[in-house]
C-alpha cells in the first residue's frame, strides 16, 4: 500500500522532535452507504469528528481489522474494500507512533446496531451519515487545541484528500470510484 504522508510534530505542531516507540497499527475507512452518504464518528465529549476505524489486533491483517472495526462502530458490513494508502504518525510530543491503513469502503445497507466500547460510550461516540462535502468540512475545518485532536484531524484530512485525488483521476478515466 502506498504512503499518503508522514506526519510529525514539525508538520502538525510546528516543532521538532521524533519518537522511537514501536507503532500502533490501525485500519480506517472512508465508508459510503447505499444512499451515497459517508460515515463519520462524532465524539460528543471532545466535539471531535473522525473517520471510523481502529486498532489492528494481534493476528489480524488490516482488512480483517477494518471489517471488525466498521461492524463494531457503524454496524455496517463491508461490500467493497479499496486500499487508499498509509498515513504514518510520529508524535514526539506524546512519545507515540501510529501507522494508519486507509481504505474506501462501500456497504449495501445490511446494518446492525453498533457495539461501542465502554470508553466510546462514556465519550458519547455515535456514527453519523453525511454528504462527502459535509464529512470533509466536519473533519478538516475545525481549529483544534490539543495535540491529539490535531493529529487525528491531520491524518483523516490527508486520507480524504487522497480519496478526492484518486476519485478525480478515476472519473477522468471513466472508472468512477463511487459508481
- Between helix 147-172 and helix 132-140 the angle, nearest 10°, is 150
To the nearest whole percent, how much of the chain has pLDDT over 70? 95
Confidence of residue 174 (pLDDT cuts 50, 70, 90): low
Domains belonging to the chain, first-starting first, are 3-172 (3.90.79.10)
Q: Are 72 and 114 in contact (CB under 8 A)?
A: yes
Is residue 53 very low, low, confident or very high in pLDDT (cuts 50, 70, 90)?
very high
- Please give the mean pLDDT across all residues of the chain: 93
Q: What is the pLDDT of residue 55?
A: 97
pLDDT of residue 59: 95
Whole-number pLDDT of residue 5? 97
List, for residues 102-144, the tens digit of each pLDDT value.
Answer: 999 999 876 788 888 899 989 999 999 999 999 999 999 999 9
Question: What pTM value is reported for the model?
Answer: 0.91
Q: Is the separation of the CB atoms in 31 and 18 below 8 Å? A: no
The pLDDT score that the predictor gives to residue 170 is: 77
Please tell me which residue, 37 or 112, carries the higher pLDDT value: 37
Give the cell for residue 43: 465524539
The Cα 94–Cα 17 span in angstroms is 10
Q: Could you give the angle at the alpha carbon of 117 between the alpha carbons of 126 and 136, nearest 5°?
A: 35
Q: Is 122 helix (H, G, I), strand (E, B) or coil?
A: helix
Comparing 26-40, 89-103, 161-175, the range with the smallest average pLDDT is: 161-175
Amino acid at each position: 500500500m502506498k504512503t499518503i504522508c508522514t506526519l510529525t510534530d514539525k508538520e502538525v505542531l510546528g516543532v521538532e522532535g521524533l519518537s522511537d516507540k514501536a507503532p500502533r497499527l490501525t485500519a480506517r475507512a472512508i465508508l459510503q452507504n447505499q444512499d451515497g452518504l459517508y460515515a463519520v464518528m462524532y465524539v460528543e465529549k471532545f466535539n471531535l469528528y473522525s473517520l471510523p476505524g481502529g486498532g489492528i489486533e494481534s493476528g489480524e491483517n488490516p482488512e480483517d481489522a477494518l471489517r471488525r472495526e466498521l461492524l463494531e462502530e457503524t454496524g455496517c458490513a463491508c461490500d467493497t474494500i479499496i486500499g487508499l494508502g498509509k498515513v504514518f504518525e510520529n508524535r514526539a510530543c506524546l512519545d507515540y507512533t501510529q501507522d494508519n491503513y486507509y481504505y474506501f469502503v462501500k456497504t449495501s445497507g445490511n446494518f446492525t446496531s453498533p457495539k461501542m466500547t465502554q470508553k466510546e460510550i462514556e465519550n458519547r461516540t455515535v456514527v453519523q451519515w453525511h454528504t462527502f462535502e459535509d464529512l470533509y468540512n466536519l473533519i478538516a475545518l475545525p481549529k483544534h487545541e490539543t495535540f491529539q485532536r490535531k493529529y487525528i484531524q491531520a491524518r483523516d484530512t490527508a486520507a480524504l484528500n487522497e480519496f478526492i485525488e484518486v476519485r478525480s483521476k478515476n472519473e477522468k478515466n471513466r472508472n468512477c470510484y463511487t459508481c
